[in-house]
């Protein structure tokens, strides 16, 4: 039977078992319990990285020349490709002037180069720029840097929106979870009057999550996401775009109040945090009645996040 004969079928059962478990986690990650340590959300935060596990299993199966292991590894390969393969495909050509380019960036309240950050964001030539962690005196720098090309802007608390197109009806969003005291304003909504019609733009910065001995602490983030989802659901303007540091990936069930109502990017992984070695995209652009055709990372700034740019086509 040769090198791939009887021995190939009898060895590699441990690899095959790991492959089946990995495929199960990819295909049914929603079934992982989220009580207590919130293991489900923790898994979903780093779900694309199970691809590394798949590659390791494939290499081991090849080294052991195990046919049964190789067959089993095809299961997680198929599951990963189904979830993330489309994101790696090139985006379709976008007709000139057909949509909006938006930039989302948590600029960091410790950013020592706001002027340089502004230049990076403007180099993407967006129509809208959404920022979080705006604090004085950096806010003044951004206002001056954007003034000529983005004459319309609204700032509420530590979040802001700059636009090429006129803004109206700008107001704060109440997404404060219970238990947070003091000054805390991290959401805004404004109406953007674009050449193709009105767009309701939402900018948000959801509470941070922490990973510790007790698991993932995300209850405040989840509550804030629920409040934001309710605001989006009540929005009467047909086309909606949400830009924000949501402190979660689109597969994290904690963001289900948003991902169940809004479309996410069709192309692009755009890992954005931490900037030094991005592990997850927690900076998001989502839309209603519009296609988020592509999302991509921009060059690093003075922030601990990478900015992301997204191309939207209203429908």
pLDDT for res 1: 43
Q: What is the mean pLDDT of residues 251-280?
A: 96
Q: How confident is the model at residue 11 (pLDDT cuts 50, 70, 90)?
A: low
Q: What share of the chain has pLDDT > 90, as a percent?
A: 82
User: Is the pLDDT reported for residue 201 higher than 90?
Assistant: yes
Cis omega (within 30 of 0) for bond into 137: yes
Phi-psi domain of 240 (left: phi exceeds 0; alpha: psi -120 through 50; beta: other): beta
Closest CA to 246 of 210, 282, 219: 282
- Contact present, 251 and 294 (Cβ < 8 Å): no
Using the predicted structure, report yes or no on whether residue 142 has a pLDDT greater than 50: yes
Is the peptide bond preceding residue 274 cis, with omega within 30 degrees of 0?
A: yes
Which strand (E) or helix (H) includes residue 38? none
Task: Compute the distance between CA of residue 87 and CA of residue 292 in angstroms, rounded to an integer.
Answer: 12
CA angle 23, 308, 205 (to 5 degrees): 90
- Across 229-280, the runs of DSSP E, i.e. the strands, are 239-245
**pLDDT over threshold 80, residue 2:** no
The full DSSP string for 147-209 is TTT--EEEEETTEEEEESS-EEEEEE---PPTT--SS---EEEEEEEETTEEEEEEEEEPPP-
Find how far residue 288's CA is from the centre of its chain: 16
As a CATH number, domain 100-314 is: 3.60.10.10
| Comma-separated ranges of CATH 3.60.10.10 domains in the chain | 100-314
Q: pLDDT per residue over 207-254, tens digit each?
A: 998 877 667 788 999 999 999 999 999 999 999 999 999 999 999 999
- pLDDT confidence bin for 4, thresholds 50/70/90: very low
Q: Name 169's Cβ contacts closer than 8 Å, sequence gap at least 6.
A: 189, 190, 191
Q: Quick one: what percent of the chain has pLDDT higher than 70? A: 94
Q: Which of 8-12, 68-72, 76-80, 270-274 has the lowest mean pLDDT?
A: 8-12
User: Which letter does DSSP use for residue 91 in this model?
Assistant: P
Mean pLDDT of the chain: 92
Q: CA 139, CA 152: separation in Å to the nearest integer?
A: 15
Instruction: Specify the pLDDT at position 96.
Output: 54
Using one digit for the tens of pLDDT, what is the confidence trace for 39-53? Answer: 999 999 999 999 999
Could you read off the pLDDT of 92-129 as tens digits, one per residue? 655 555 689 999 999 999 999 999 999 999 999 999 99
Query: Which pLDDT value is given to residue 293?
Result: 92
Question: Which tokens hold the place of 5?
Answer: 């004969």
């Amino acid at each position: 039977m040769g090198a791939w004969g009887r021995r190939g079928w009898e060895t590699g059962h441990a690899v095959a078992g790991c492959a089946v478990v990995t495929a199960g986690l990819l295909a049914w990650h929603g079934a992982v319990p989220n009580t207590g340590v919130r293991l489900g959300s923790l898994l979903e935060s780093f779900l694309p990285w199970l691809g590394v596990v798949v590659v390791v299993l494939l290499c081991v199966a090849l080294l052991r020349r195990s046919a049964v292991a190789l067959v089993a590894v095809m299961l997680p390969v198929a599951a990963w490709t189904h979830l993330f393969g489309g994101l790696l495909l090139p985006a379709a050509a976008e007709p000139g002037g057909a949509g909006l380019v938006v930039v989302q960036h948590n600029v960091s309240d410790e950013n020592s180069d706001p002027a340089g950050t502004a230049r990076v964001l403007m180099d993407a030539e967006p129509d809208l720029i959404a920022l979080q962690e705006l604090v004085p005196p950096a806010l003044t720098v951004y206002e001056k840097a954007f003034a000529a090309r983005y004459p319309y802007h609204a700032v509420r608390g530590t979040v802001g929106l700059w636009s090429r197109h006129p803004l109206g009806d700008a107001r704060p969003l109440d997404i404060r979870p219970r238990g947070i005291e003091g000054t805390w304003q991290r959401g805004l909504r404004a109406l953007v009057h674009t050449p193709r019609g009105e767009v309701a733009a939402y900018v948000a910065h959801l509470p941070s999550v922490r990973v510790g001995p007790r698991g993932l602490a995300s209850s405040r983030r989840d509550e804030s996401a629920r409040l934001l989802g309710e605001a989006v659901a009540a929005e009467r303007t047909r086309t909606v775009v949400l830009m924000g540091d949501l402190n979660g990936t689109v597969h994290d069930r904690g963001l289900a109040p948003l991902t169940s109502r809004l479309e996410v990017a069709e192309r692009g992984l755009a890992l954005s945090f931490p900037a030094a070695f991005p592990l997850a995209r927690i900076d998001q652009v989502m839309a209603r009645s519009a296609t988020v055709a592509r999302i991509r990372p921009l060059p690093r700034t003075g922030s601990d996040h990478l900015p992301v740019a997204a191309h939207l086509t209203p429908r």
